[in-house]
């Protein structure tokens, strides 16, 4: 059973702080990793993807991947109240070039609250 584990939270940070969200996965052959943001009552929205070990930055968001440790993280710098949401980690074990199922396995999400 392929699993994706996240701390459910809730995680609270003050406005302007760095929020750190963590995710571990069990399938060692996993190739693609994603972070989705889900506001209450809304569907998940893709915010970051990462495929190689190291860091990937996009604005205030940085995704970090360590395949040896089977660990993915998301850092949100200068957190804003509008970042308050549930963050879902998702993993795809298929190689990027396979054109295969592209099925994603999701974690249960971490609820983030940014306090004004």
Partner 1 sequence: EAGVAQSPRYKIIEKRQSVAFWCNPISGHATLYWYQQILGQGPKLLIQFQNNGVVDDSQLPKDRFSAERLKGVDSTLKIQPAKLEDSAVYLCAIPAGGNGYTFGSGTRLTVV
The Cα–Cα gap between 52 and 33 comes to: 9
Residue 13 CA to its chain's centroid (Å): 17
Residue 103: CB minimum distance to partner 1, A: 6
Give 18's DSSP letter.
Answer: P
Tokens of 110: 């971490």
Nearer to partner 1, 8 or 80 (CB): 8
Is 110 in contact with 7 (CB distance < 8 Å)?
yes
Would you say how long the chain is, in residues? 116
Nearer to partner 1, 96 or 115 (CB): 96
Nearer to partner 1, 15 or 55 (CB): 55
Which residues of the shown chain bind partner 1 in the complex (CB under 8 A)? 4, 8, 32, 34, 42-46, 49, 51, 88, 90, 92, 94, 96, 101-109
Residue 110: CB minimum distance to partner 1, A: 10
Tokens of 46: 């893709």
Residue 116: CB minimum distance to partner 1, A: 25
């Amino acid at each position: 059973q392929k699993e994706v584990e996240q701390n459910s939270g809730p995680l609270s940070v003050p406005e302007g702080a760095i929020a750190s969200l963590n995710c571990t996965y069990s399938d060692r052959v996993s190739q693609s990793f994603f972070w989705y943001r889900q506001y209450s009552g809304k569907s998940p929205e893709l915010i970051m993807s990462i495929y190689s070990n190291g860091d990937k930055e996009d604005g205030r968001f940085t995704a970090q991947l360590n395949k040896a440790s089977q660990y993915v993280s998301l850092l949100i710098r200068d957190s804003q109240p509008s970042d308050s949401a549930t963050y879902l980690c998702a993993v795809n074990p298929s190689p990027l070039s396979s054109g295969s199922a592209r099925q994603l396995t999701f974690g249960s999400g971490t609820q983030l609250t940014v306090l004004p």
